[in-house]
Structure 1
Amino acid sequence: MKILVTGSEGFVGKNLRSELKNRGYEDIFSYDRETDEKLLDKYTKECDFVYHLAGVNRPENYEEFMKGNYGFTSKVLNLLKKHNNQSPVLITSSIQAKLDNPYGRSKKAGEEVIFEYGRETGAEVYVYRLPNLFGKWSRPNYNSVVATFCHNIANDLEIEVHDPEVELTLAYIDDVVEQFINALDDQVVKEDKYCKVPVTHEVKLCKLAELIKSFKESRENLYLPDMGDEFTKKLYSMYLSYLPEDNFSYDLTMHQDERGSFTEMLRTEDSGQISINVSKPGITKGNHWHHTKNEKFLVVSGQGIIRFRDIYSEEVIEYEVSGDKLEVVDIPTGYTHNIENTGDTNMVTVMWANECYDPDNPDTYFLEV
């Protein structure tokens, strides 16, 4: 299948093209404002499907709205008619097509001309009235408040929240692209004559700003955002794409002594924390037990022995562990335990605890194994 994508270098175009390639579509005709206009005639002659994503959002004058959103759409459709090419055409419109403003009127005109084209030629047409979109490669300080907030907060710039109570309806770019690719097989979700993305998210502007700020703070307090919430998960993925290239990494606090080090990596509100423990050769750590706190140990480098003893028993249980054979060892409650490095190199252990460390309630009691 040969696929034409207009607006190929835009936010939606880049995400769509990358996923089409991921799914094995190789013949993609990319057309953008920098493309030689003569190629559009060739592309509209040969293509089997059209994604018409090109449009004008922020022109220098209002006349460009109609020229870009109606005029260019008409040009693409006329070229398809010229070549008697009845390929399906998918076009991106906007929920603002309902509004009586220059942008809305231009998007509405684009909708009408494509519906007329479908009636005249019999070609399948898909018109998506999209809400505000968010996701990677969205341009900040352009037409997306989400991109602007992510970019500014990630780069230590101020944001402006004019009306905190404004509620946004947002669609995530991966959900949009999924629907667009489904259209290749005529698998679309329709509401009346319009196609729609069934998964959207409602969020107030103040909540949006608060969430993105919490992503930045997570590098300091180590609390991972709530990945069980779909919107938070998607927004966090977007936020990371706006980090400055020299700021992908961040330091952790290493608690070091003659035995090695202990470093917290992640904290969560409901799933505990993950830490990295480094033990030097011959060193034994632990010799304590817990009432409710439980842990999982995973030695990823070096070798050692994990020992357990029920605090009311004299029997010692041993597990040999090594980075050569990755296995998780559960640390049960009511058992005093320790871990000894029996090798000649540092032993590195990934440790998970079911609760974050609380110095006021550590639930940790010293007792030799």
Structure 2
Amino acid sequence: MRIVLTGARGFMGWHTRLRAHALTQHEITPVGREEWPDLPTLVAEADAVIHIAGVNRARDEEGGLSPDEQVNLGNVRLAEELAEAVRGAGRPVRVVYANSIQAGNGTPYGAGKQRAGEVLREAVESTGGHLTEVMLPNLFGEHCRPNYNSFTATFIDKVIKGEEPTINDNPVNLLHAQKAAAALLEGLETTETVLEPKGEDVGVQEVWDLLVEFHESYVGRGEIPDLSTDFRIDLFNSYRTALFPEHYPIKLKPHADPRGFFVETVRCAGGQGQSSISTTVPGITRGEHYHLSKIERFAVVQGTARMSLRKMFTDEVLDFHVTGEETTAVDMPVGWVHNITNTGDDTLITQFWVHEFFDPENPDTFPEPVRPATDAEENAR
């Protein structure tokens, strides 16, 4: 399907685009502020729309509106402009709307999200299309912005900086962004008009305590923490992504004597875990893939290498130049394409570790080049 994805460069938009790229054959057209004026044309050419774009926070002095009006009316305005594009398409269009469990709760945000849903439903049904509203709870995940998207992102920022947050210990339902993205993509196929994905029921204090545990384990003792539940894995992935790239590569501590040296490359507090050793001849590159949830460590123990990473849907490539003489490791963040190249003259020896046993039915490994070929290079082939 040809899908228009609004809010594509935001937190949820990136996760939805990533999951669609990994697990579907959908053709995604990302729409942000720059592309918004072209929305009528893009919708007319699409099979469906996933509408994520919204207003969570007010901007200073925007349009003479109060902060509450900016949030409320901003969400309605985006829906009205999308509704106009849907009507202008002149045919049925399927729309998936990223709504919120806060819709209709009396807050400016809740009022705006509820009214936006009503506007979209009227437009979609008037043209014979189908609208699915996905009622999302509190979200968290990789690349979530502190003091904006989620309290978990704010907690992560504070635990890394060594600061203490003010905590109101309320119960909360937390849904990881990849699970939210799965529900949005399900909306493209379902006959349901409302989907209500459920997250993890936790306390706010419990989230902070887990992050403190992760930080003390991962940064303080150099250990992979207990990863015995899906929620722990998702929260740890969110935490360690906030450490990237400043925290890497991780310096490991070799112990040498006349016989040679020994170095502990991974220490785990819990979970499964699977280790492997590979040799790579000079000039060869391994990897060229990304993951949705897998925690993976590359540790060079002999030779010289370049580890390269690129966040999906961006152009900047980060290079880490490493050597077995100063044994270091890099833990690959999810949603980042990565590889390792032998840049030396001798055989490279690398240990690879992942937090789970390999499952051929669900490998969570998606091929993608770190440095995509240019059009000229493609034409020369």
CA distance in 1, matches of 2:34, 2:275: 50
Residue 57 in 1 paired to residue 51 in 2? no
Change (3 A) 1:230 1:244: closer
CA distance in 2, matches of 1:65, 1:243: 31
CA distance in 1, matches of 2:124, 2:36: 27
Conserved 8 A contact 1:265-1:275: no
Residue 162 in 1 paired to residue 167 in 2? yes
Describe how 1:300-311 pairs up with structure 2 within 5 A: none
Conserved 8 A contact 2:92-2:124: no
Describe how 1:220-239 pairs up with structure 2 within 5 A: 220-239=220-239
Query: In structure 2, what is the equivalent of residue 71 of structure 1?
Result: 77
Describe how 1:1-369 pairs up with structure 2 within 5 A: 1-23=1-23, 25=25, 27-35=27-35, 37=37, 39-60=38-59, 61-154=67-160, 156-163=161-168, 165-186=169-190, 193-198=193-198, 200-219=199-218, 220-269=220-269
Change (3 A) 1:185 1:227: same
Aligned amino acid, residue 185 of structure 1: E
Conserved 8 A contact 2:48-2:94: yes
CA distance in 1, matches of 2:78, 2:115: 11
CA distance in 2, matches of 1:157, 1:271: 27
Aligned amino acid, residue 180 of structure 2: V
Structure 1 residue 96: Cα displacement: 1.1
What residue ranges of structure 1 are gaps of 5+ in the alignment? 277-299, 302-344, 353-369
Largest Rg, 1 or 2: 1
2:266 aligns to what SS in structure 1?
Answer: strand
Aligned amino acid, residue 197 of structure 1: P
Change (3 A) 1:117 1:202: same
1:107 aligns to what SS in structure 2?
Answer: helix
Aligned amino acid, residue 207 of structure 2: L
How far does the alpha carbon of each residue in 1:284-315 deviate from its partner, in whole angstroms, 9 at most, with x for none?
xxxxxxxxxxxxxxxx98xxxxxxxxxxxxxx
Conserved 8 A contact 1:86-1:121: yes
Structure 1 residue 127: Cα displacement: 0.5
Change (3 A) 1:70 1:244: same
Structure 1 residue 244: Cα displacement: 4.2
Aligned amino acid, residue 151 of structure 2: V
Query: In structure 2, what is the equivalent of residue 306 of structure 1?
Result: none
Change (3 A) 1:123 1:273: closer
Query: In structure 1, what is the equivalent of residue 342 of structure 2?
Result: none
How far does the alpha carbon of each residue in 1:165-224 deviate from its partner, in whole angstroms, 9 at most, with x for none?
22221111111112222222227xx6xx521224x1122122211211222222332442
Conserved 8 A contact 2:5-2:49: yes
CA distance in 2, matches of 1:3, 1:147: 29
Structure 1 residue 270: Cα displacement: 5.3
2:112 aligns to what SS in structure 1?
Answer: helix
CA distance in 2, matches of 1:272, 1:87: 45
TM-score, structure 1 length as denominator? 0.67
Conserved 8 A contact 1:264-1:273: no
Change (3 A) 1:241 1:272: closer
Number of equivalent positions? 279
How far does the alpha carbon of each residue in 1:28-76 deviate from its partner, in whole angstroms, 9 at most, with x for none?
2221123251x11211211100011111000132221233211210111
Conserved 8 A contact 1:161-1:206: no
Conserved 8 A contact 2:228-2:270: no
Conserved 8 A contact 1:4-1:49: yes
Aligned amino acid, residue 35 of structure 1: E
Deviates more, 1:127-136 or 1:117-126: 117-126
Conserved 8 A contact 1:267-1:273: no
Identity of aligned residues (%): 29
Aligned amino acid, residue 196 of structure 2: K
Change (3 A) 1:124 1:222: same
1:51 aligns to what SS in structure 2?
Answer: strand
Q: Please list every run of at least 4 consecutive aligned residues from structure 1 whose deviation after the TM superposition is greater than 6 angstroms.
A: 271-276
Q: What's the C-alpha RMSD, in Å, of the aligned pairs? A: 3.3
